[in-house]
């Protein structure tokens, strides 16, 4: 396993982070709680010490599963969770809330579900565009003083957000955004934010919701119960699907030279191409964790990076 110390912190994290969205069990295909817990344990056995989740994943279930999995193993884990994305009471609409009142309520719920008395990195899931950033930072600083969080970070921010965040440079230890060979929409944002704010980038969607694993074909179809059946997940539809499969073909060819599967090549590309990055990868089963860990302790050759960069160039995703 590879590790890196996050800027503005003393946290030494694995460069592969297990993502918690599938743990929520919401529209990611079939999930089994025992298999999810086994996947976390497999990650720890492989040297993964970093886990990213959010209170909204499965409306709390993802945090509950992670809390169960880390029971008796908390000292081996660095936990990042997120706040600020909420669902209406009738569960029909999503909205953002960064108010101090909600942050206070959210942190208590996350601590309870995770069965811990502190969260290592507490992240703003999305800026709500209403709450002043000064108020958010003040609340998070108070949570640090109280020992409920160690550090705080950002999620889903763009270059346009830098101006309001710059006065607080040095306070944030991380930010995350969607990035993979299947989605390079935010590449310039990621590079500019990491440079200007001097924070480590985390990438979510690192395997393009699974399309970069190499296990799907050009005619893949999902049941309606799986979110990837929706047009809002374009990686699996139309011309975008065919473009992604061209990328997978190149990854498979390159991987054969290293004895690696496509998923490992996709993750390795991120780690090599984005300096000081951490790849967040959602998993549902133990074997997926083992496959993802094949991305560590080697590097792609410059020529291979150029091939992948070229075949994925302008591979845009509209929306998230």
Query: Residue 3: phi, psi to the nearest 5?
Result: -130, 160
What pLDDT is recorded for position 317?
57
Q: Which CATH code is given to the segment(s) 3-213+262-299?
A: 3.20.20.100
What's the token pair of residue 240? 């975008």
pLDDT band for position 25 (cuts 50, 70, 90) = low
| pLDDT tens digits for range 75-117 | 999 999 999 998 887 777 889 999 999 999 999 999 999 999 9
- Average pLDDT of the residues in 118-137: 96
Please state, in angstroms and rounded to a whole number, the distance separating the CA atoms of residues 17 and 35: 17
- Average pLDDT of the residues in 221-227: 72
What pLDDT is recorded for position 91?
76
- pLDDT over 70 at 60, yes or no: yes
- Average pLDDT of the residues in 243-272: 94
| The pTM of the whole model exceeds 0.75 | yes
More confident site: 260 or 230:
260
- β-strand pairing of 3-5 with 12-14: antiparallel
| pLDDT more than 70, % of the chain | 95
- Average pLDDT of the residues in 154-162: 94
- Average pLDDT of the residues in 182-211: 93
**In 161-315, where does DSSP find H-type helix?**
162-165, 187-197, 238-258, 262-273, 286-293, 302-312
Please state, in angstroms and rounded to a whole number, the distance separating the CA atoms of residues 226 and 245: 20
pLDDT band for position 228 (cuts 50, 70, 90) = confident
pLDDT band for position 319 (cuts 50, 70, 90) = very low
């Amino acid at each position: 396993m590879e590790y890196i110390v996050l800027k503005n912190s003393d946290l030494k994290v694995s460069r592969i982070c297990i993502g918690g969205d599938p743990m929520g069990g919401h529209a990611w295909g079939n999930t089994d709680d025992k298999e999810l817990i086994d996947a976390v344990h497999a990650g720890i056995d492989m040297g993964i010490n970093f886990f990213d989740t959010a209170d909204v994943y499965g409306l709390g279930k993802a945090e509950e599963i992670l809390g169960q999995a880390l029971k008796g193993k908390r000292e081996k884990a660095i936990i990042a969770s997120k706040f600020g994305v909420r669902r209406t009471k009738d569960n029909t609409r999503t909205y953002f809330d960064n108010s101090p009142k909600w942050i206070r309520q959210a942190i208590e719920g996350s601590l309870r579900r995770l069965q811990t008395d502190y969260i290592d990195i507490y992240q703003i899931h999305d800026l709500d565009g209403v709450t002043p950033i000064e108020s958010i930072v003040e609340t998070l600083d108070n949570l640090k003083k109280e020992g409920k969080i160690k550090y705080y970070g950002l999620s889903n921010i763009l270059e346009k957000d830098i101006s309001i965040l710059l006065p607080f440079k040095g306070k944030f230890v991380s930010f995350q955004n969607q990035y993979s060979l299947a989605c390079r929409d935010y590449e310039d944002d990621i590079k500019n934010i990491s440079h200007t704010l001097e924070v480590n980038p985390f990438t979510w969607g690192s395997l393009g919701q699974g399309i970069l694993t190499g296990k799907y074909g050009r005619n893949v179809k999902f049941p309606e119960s799986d979110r990837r059946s929706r047009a809002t997940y374009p990686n699996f539809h139309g011309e975008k699907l065919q473009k992604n499969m061209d990328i997978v073909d190149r990854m498979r060819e390159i991987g054969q030279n290293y004895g690696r599967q496509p998923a490992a090549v996709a993750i390795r590309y991120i780690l090599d191409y984005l300096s000081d990055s951490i790849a967040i990868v959602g998993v549902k089963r133990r074997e997926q964790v083992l496959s993802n860990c094949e991305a560590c302790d080697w590097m792609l050759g410059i020529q291979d990076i150029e091939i992948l960069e070229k075949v994925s160039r302008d591979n845009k995703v509209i929306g998230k």
